[in-house]
Amino acid sequence: MSGTGTLKWDAHLDDMSMQPNIFKCIDKLVTSTVGKSTNVLWHDCPIGQFERQELLNQKGCVVWITGLSGSGKSTLACALSRELHSRGHLTYILDGDNLRHGLNRDLCFEAKDRAENIRRVGEVAKLFADAGLICIASLISPYRSERSACRKLLHNSTFIEVFLNVPLEVCEARDPKGLYKLARAGKIKGFTGIDDPYEAPSDCEIVIQCKAGDCATPKSMADQVVSYLEANEFLQE
Ligand SMILES: Nc1ncnc2c1ncn2[C@@H]1O[C@H](COP(=O)(O)OS(=O)(=O)O)[C@@H](OP(=O)(O)O)[C@H]1O
Ligand SMILES: Nc1ncnc2c1ncn2[C@@H]1O[C@H](COP(=O)(O)OP(=O)(O)O)[C@@H](O)[C@H]1O
70-105, pLDDT tens digit by residue? 999 999 999 999 999 999 999 999 999 999 999 999
Cβ contacts of residue 170 below 8 Å, gap of 6+? 70, 71, 210, 211, 212, 215
Per-residue model confidence as pLDDT tens digits over 52-68? 999 999 999 999 999 99
Identify the nearest ligand to the CA of 212 by its number. Answer: 2
Could you tell me if 147 and 172 are in contact, meaning their C-beta atoms sit under 8 angstroms apart? no
Q: Is the model's pTM score more than 0.80?
A: yes
- Nearest-5° angle of CA 210, CA 84, CA 214? 15
Catalytic residue among 17, 138, 141, 202: 141
Tell me what the pLDDT averaged over the chain comes to.
89
Q: Answer with the residue of higher pLDDT: 16 or 45.
A: 45
CA max distance for the chain: 74
- For ligand 1, is residue 147 a contact (CB within 6 Å)? no
User: Could you confirm whether 145 is annotated as catalytic?
Assistant: no
Q: How far is CA 110 from the centre of its chain?
A: 19
Could you tell me if 176 and 70 are in contact, meaning their C-beta atoms sit under 8 angstroms apart? yes
Identify the nearest ligand to the CA of 142 by its number. Answer: 1
Helix, strand or coil, per DSSP, at residue 62: strand
Q: Quick one: CATH architecture of 49-232?
A: 3-Layer(aba) Sandwich (3.40)
Pocket of ligand 2 (CB under 6 A): 67, 69-75, 174, 176, 215, 217-218, 221
- pLDDT at site 31: 65
- pLDDT at site 138: 98
pLDDT-based confidence at 16, cuts 50/70/90?
A: very low
Ligand 1: centre distance to CA 216 (Å): 23
Amino acid of residue 167:
P
pLDDT-based confidence at 15, cuts 50/70/90?
A: very low
- pLDDT at site 7: 40
E-state strands within the chain: 7-9, 30-34, 37-40, 61-66, 91-95, 134-138, 159-165, 206-211, 214-215
